[in-house]
């Protein structure tokens, strides 16, 4: 029996992915939200699930430690890895990757200080705009950076915009729309094609129904 490992992204994506998997008849045996485990058997003997940070999902798939992964497009853009296909947009966990700054902020002609965890995406975006920046890598609480004068602008995920508003910031330019994507290891797609094709077809049907 061919073993399939699926890497899922913890947090909001996981909450929106599990009902989709249930729809195709796939469920973890244990409660993934209360268990401290990170590797879970499922009700299908040959399929197991890994629960990872979003930034780690593409890495596990790229190196073949997971056959299939579900991750946000933001993480995939930042990872910029090879070794996997991106065959399906699940259309879940939708949000936007945007620039934001204090309300009414007017950028000067000098170098912009930009705080973000999406350093590759930000570097490419501002380069396309022809704007010079100093990048400051942060891993959370992005909204604090302009308040504390650590940065002029931030690049971050925006959902409702309420967190920005609460901290005196406003969304400015949209970099890209984000949703959760299915990625598949290139080698696995060849060696485990029938099993992976079945999962992808079932997910595609579940998304469109």
Do residues 169 and 143 lie in contact, with contact meaning Cβ atoms separated by under 8 Å? yes
Question: How many Å apart are CA 96 and CA 196, to the nearest integer?
Answer: 29
Do the first three CATH levels of 4-93+179-208 and 95-177 match, i.e. the same topology?
yes
Instruction: Write down the domain spans for the chain.
Output: 4-93+179-208, 95-177
- pLDDT tens-digit series, residues 126-183: 999 999 999 999 998 999 999 999 999 999 999 999 999 999 999 999 999 999 999 9
| CATH hierarchy code of domain 4-93+179-208 | 3.40.190.10
Q: Which residues contact 172 (CB under 8 A, 6 or more apart)?
A: 98, 99, 100, 101, 153
Nearest alpha-carbon partner for 126 in 104, 150, 103, 152: 152
Confidence of residue 123 (pLDDT cuts 50, 70, 90): very high
pLDDT at 1: 83
User: To the nearest whole number, what is the mean pLDDT of the chain?
Assistant: 95
pLDDT at 109: 79
- Count of CB atoms situated within 10 Å of the CB of 68: 28
Q: Which residues of 124-148 are buried (b: 16+ CB within 10 A; e: fewer)?
A: ebbeeeeeebebbebeeebbebbee
In this prediction the pTM is 0.92
DSSP conformation class of 62: H
Confidence of residue 81 (pLDDT cuts 50, 70, 90): confident
HSE-up (13 A, CA, CB side) for residue 197: 5
Fold of domain 95-177: D-Maltodextrin-Binding Protein; domain 2 (3.40.190)
């Amino acid at each position: 029996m061919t073993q399939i490992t699926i890497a899922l992204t913890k947090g909001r994506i996981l909450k929106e992915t599990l009902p989709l998997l249930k729809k195709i008849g796939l469920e973890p045996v244990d409660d993934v939200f209360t268990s401290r485990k990170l590797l879970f058997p499922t009700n299908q003997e040959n399929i197991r699930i890994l629960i990872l940070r979003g930034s780690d999902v593409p890495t596990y798939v790229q190196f073949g430690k997971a056959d299939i992964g579900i991750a946000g497009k933001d993480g995939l853009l930042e990872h910029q890895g090879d070794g996997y296909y991106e065959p399906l947009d699940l259309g879940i966990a939708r949000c936007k990757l945007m620039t934001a700054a204090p309300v009414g902020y007017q950028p000067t002609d000098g170098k912009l200080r930009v705080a973000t965890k999406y350093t590759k995406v930000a570097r490419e975006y501002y380069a396309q705009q022809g704007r010079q920046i100093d990048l400051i890598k942060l891993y959370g609480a992005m909204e604090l950076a302009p308040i504390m004068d650590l940065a002029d602008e931030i690049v971050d995920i925006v959902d409702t915009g309420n967190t920005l508003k609460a901290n005196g910031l406003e969304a400015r330019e949209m970099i890209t729309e984000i949703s959760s994507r299915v990625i598949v290891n290139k080698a696995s797609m060849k060696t485990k094609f029938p099993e992976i094709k079945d999962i992808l077809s079932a997910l595609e049907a579940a998304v469109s129904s």
